[in-house]
Copies of this chain bind each other. A is one copy, B any other.
Amino acid sequence: MLYENDHKYFMAKVLDLAISKKGFVSPNPYVACLLVSNGQVIGTGLHNGAGSSHAELDALLKLPKCFDRSKIILYVNLEPCCHFDKRTPPCAQLLIREGITNVVIGCLDPNIKVSGNGVKLLRNNNIDVTTGVLEDECKKINKIFFKNMLKGLPYFEGKIACSLDGKIALENGSSKWITSSKSRKRCHEDRVLYDAILVGKNTFFTDRPKLNSRDKDKVIKENKKIIIGNYLDIIDSIGDYNPNNIIIISQSSVQDSASIMNHNGIRILFFKDKIEEVFNQLLSIGICSVYVEGGGKTFSYFLKKKIFDEISIYKSPKILGKGKSFSDQFRVNNISESLHLKNIEYTILGEDILLKGYL
């Protein structure tokens, strides 16, 4: 019999493996599994993204047929699925059919078609099931998937690079560079995690940003690019951008709210009053997560409407004085109404610091 700490030890290994696919499994969750026998890892499985095997199948396919399945503990970070409307057959059935007798699960699946039912099915078939091992960590690596499933909305992270006094640019617009190259490198590592990068039209027209994820000059991922602004103006200035990667969120009084138009590959999502009207439509076109990079007007709006799930603020040890703040158009009447970030994580990046918090 293994102790609880052994379970945590192996689940931590499962998480390391699952996150190795970071940025490349959307719209699916990160899932890995470990096959452990006699305290030894004898097999691993990994989900490689939509259309490929689930982690459990991946592991069991690789395991020699002669190996006695009843001697194995299968560790998996997310509850095995039990529904038939995916491209792959349900994993709970697979484990039963394979003769697995012992399963350790990180967290339940938030998908209402699964949540708890996978565990129930396993237990009804005399499989010993332990749940809730490193549960918080398991939920955290799949925060995007949980938000999608529970709210029907994309996960939003806001990113700001600013000075000690909260400035993102001088009054004359100058902003190169407030933070260090180490901060910018880290930002590109975070961009990878997201399906799309969003900016307002001012940033788009002024900076013509690449909005992809790079390591030095090598493109690691060509994120979709969401631009908020009048679609005719933006289409006019599309230039070298690949239209298939461009999504425009545009106001229109004539189009139906949340209707989608395709113009030579460019997707245009229309809203009548507020951009939030199109957010669930983003999911329908495969955008499960959005990295919001500004500028100040866009950021203030997202702050005001409490849209962010998470905010990353890169701070350099500089004082810029009079200039543009990232929150200039956000306003409260009382300190207690201010946006208060929770579960703050601090990361030192050279002489800069990254403050990450959740709303």
Which of A's residues lie within 8 Å of B, judged by CB?
A: 162-167, 170-172, 174-178, 300, 303, 311, 313, 315, 317-322, 325-335, 338-342, 344, 346, 348, 351, 353, 355, 357
Contact = CB atoms under 8 A, between A and B. Distances in A.
Contact of A333 (B170, B331, B334): B170
B329 A322 contact: yes
A331 B321 contact: yes
A176 B357 CA distance: 22
A37 to B, nearest CB: 43
B353 A338 contact: no
Contact of A335 (B176, B331, B333): B176
Nearest to A342: B317
A321 to B, nearest CB: 3
Contact of A327 (B303, B320, B342): B320
Contacts of A338: 163, 318-321
Contacts of A332: 170, 320-321
Contacts of A317: 340-342, 344, 355, 357
29 contacts: A164-B341, A170-B332, A170-B334, A170-B335, A171-B331, A174-B334, A176-B335, A178-B335, A300-B321, A303-B319, A317-B340, A317-B342, A317-B355, A318-B338, A318-B339, A318-B340, A318-B341, A319-B330, A319-B338, A319-B339, A319-B341, A320-B335, A321-B329, A321-B330, A321-B338, A322-B330, A344-B351, A346-B353, A353-B353
Contacts of A333: 170, 172
A149 to B, nearest CB: 28
B327 A322 contact: yes
A162 B311 CA distance: 18
Given A303-B319, A311-B319, A315-B355, 13 more contacts: A162-B165, A165-B326, A166-B325, A317-B341, A318-B338, A318-B339, A318-B341, A319-B341, A320-B335, A321-B331, A321-B332, A322-B329, A346-B353
Contacts of A164: 166, 313, 341, 355
Contacts of A353: 344, 346, 353, 355
Nearest to A340: B318
A335 B174 contact: yes
Contact of A165 (B166, B170, B322, B340): B166
A314 B166 CA distance: 13
A101 to B, nearest CB: 45
Nearest to A326: B165
A256 to B, nearest CB: 33
A325 to B, nearest CB: 6
Contacts of A170: 332-335
Contacts of A340: 317-318
Given A332-B170, A335-B170, A351-B344, A165 B327 contact: yes
